[in-house]
Amino acid sequence: MKINKRILSVASLVLLAVTSYAQTGLGQKPNIVFLMTDDQRWDTLGCYGRTDVITPHIDQLAEQGVTFDNAYYAVAICMPSRATMFTGRYFSDHQVGFTYPYNRSLPKEEFADSYPARLKEAGYRTGFVGKFGIRLDHMPKTAAEYFDFFAVGGMIWPKEDTALKNIFREDRPKTERTLKKGDAMIRFLETQPKGQPFCLSISFDAVKNDHDDDMHTPHVELFEGREMWVPENWVEGKNMELPKLLDHCRGTYLHVARTSTPEQYQATTRRFAVQGYTVDQQVGRLMAKLKEMDVLENTIVIYTSDNGRFHGSHGLYDKALLYEESIKEPLIVFDGRAPKSQQGRREKAMVSSADVAPTIVSLAGLEIPEIMKGRDLSGLLNGTQDMSQWRETVLMENFFIQELHTAIIQKNPDIPGLNDELIADNRSYRTRGVRTERYKYFKYHEHDPVIEELYDLETDPSEMNNLISNPEYAEVLSKLRNQMEDLYAEATATATP
């Protein structure tokens, strides 16, 4: 058999490119930048299909990277979600959240297995800017051990960096909060020693839109009077179709107060868009600076958020509940080392926010700690993943209860007793469930009788038709119930007591 030498030569070049990509270039560890927004719904970016927003730099990141179309949060509320992405562990495992009994502080010895700690140990210069978002034992001492550069609230180091301190001076307008984080991001890069790999995490308070702090004044006028897209499952007034127990969640009453009229919805959605644009500008600054430093081709940039938000969809305002608007994750990964053939791809594999930490550790060429339960996305990024060995289902959990959170703030002396009362009185809406490429199933497992929901996302992407009682879906329902129990058992197999 005669072999075409030209074809063989091209194939060899492609193999060489992919091999070099997998081996992080010429033996040099890649730099890693992890960008996280706050409460940014997945479908508020141009690269995910929106035309009424302005996100050119994030869209370009997608055009040059890999965009995940089936990424889901293991938990969709800030503290536990951030803990999951730091540690690669599920909420029922790390138990770092707001409300009893899932309200641990993360011990130092467990943070030692987080992605920044592992990279710091391997010789990376590590930095964190913005909203840290989780409780660490012995903070800030623990953070100082694992971060060389830190700008979180009033905690700023290196202490001798007067330029960094000046960025957060008190006389700067509050509406520049996103810009301050961008400035600190650039400062980290300006002070980066040549030849040392770095891992920088930037966590914006935007796009939360509750406060004016992130409404950068020059960007507000870009969206004045703009007609914003309205999803088909937006509900005017109170949604009477929701399970009655959701009357106890804050998303219901916040919707009535904030997004339950067309005027309210348009106003809050414009605020979301303003803040998203300001974040997008910081992404542009980042990419320009990396290029200026001549390190872009050896840098990985990951863009995501900590959870989504309803903004009136389903007659809800908040997050945490397991509908798509809350639980679906925007996830974009740009890798400057990737060959052209691996750029600008859409990836439909089912991935979890628990995959972030093991992926960062793997991309740095390090061994993934056994305690991490997420999966390494590297094979999906470089096209080498055997898809027959990839998961078809992701686990989702919500253990946040507003009534307990309020009681903790008010220093209720018997939180365990109140928790028991909530469960006995059917006021608990703790939930666990699973998502496949086509279906979603979840249950409010502390309600008696259990309340369940099942959706066929192929025919009902807005989750407006609960199929739980439809006999045609009995086999699907049985399979998803079993998958959920199996995944939950895996997540809690070595859970901290």
CA pair distance 172, 244, nearest whole angstrom: 46
**Where along the chain do the CATH 3.40.720.10 domains lie?**
29-382
pLDDT digit string, tens, across residues 189-220: 999 999 999 999 999 999 998 889 999 999 99
* pLDDT tens profile 389-429: 999 999 999 999 999 999 999 999 999 999 999 999 999 99
- Residue 305 to residue 411: CA distance in whole angstroms: 31
Tell me the H-state helices in 122-244.
Answer: 141-146, 162-167, 177-190, 217-220
Please name which of 219, 203, 176 lies closest in space to residue 53, comparing C-alpha atoms: 219
Specify whether the CB–CB gap between 454 and 440 falls below 8 A.
yes
Record the tokens describing residue 265, joined without a space.
């919805």
Task: Tell me yes or no: is domain 396-491 CATH 2.60.40.
Answer: no
Residue 264's pLDDT band (cuts 50, 70, 90):
very high
pTM: 0.93
As a whole-number percent, the residues of the chain with pLDDT over 70 amount to: 94
What is the Cβ-side half-sphere exposure of residue 49, based on CA atoms within 13 angstroms? 8
What tens digit of pLDDT does each residue of 44-101 get? Answer: 999 999 999 999 999 999 999 999 999 999 999 999 999 999 999 999 999 999 999 9
Residues spanned by CATH 3.30.1120 within the chain?
A: 396-491
DSSP state of 74: S
- Among candidate residues 313, 363, 308, 303, the one with its CA nearest the CA of residue 338: 363
CA distance 306 to 353: 9
pLDDT of res. 376: 98
Return the sign of the alpha-carbon dihedral for residues 471, 473, 479, 481.
negative
Number of H helices, E strands in the chain: 19, 15
- For residue range 446-489, list pLDDT tens digits in order: 999 999 999 999 999 999 999 999 999 999 999 999 999 999 99
Q: Which of 202, 188, 185, 198 is nearest to 299 (CA)?
A: 198
**Higher-scoring residue by pLDDT: 340, 185:** 185
The pLDDT confidence band at residue 27, using thresholds 50, 70 and 90, is: low
Residue 181 backbone dihedrals phi, psi, to 5 degrees: -65, -40
Is residue 72 within 8 Å of 352, Cβ to Cβ? yes
Q: Is pLDDT of 6 > 80?
A: no
The amino acid at residue 14 is V
Candidates 3.30.1330.60, 3.40.50.1360, 3.30.565.10, 3.40.720.10; correct CATH number of 29-382? 3.40.720.10
Structure tokens at 392: 């078809």
CA torsion through residues 415, 418, 420, 422, sign: negative
For helices 262-292 and 177-190, what crossing angle results, to 10°? 10
Task: Tokens 């329902």: give the residue.
Answer: 477
Cα separation, 444 vs 432, whole angstroms: 7
Other Cβ atoms within 10 Å of 165 Cβ, number: 14
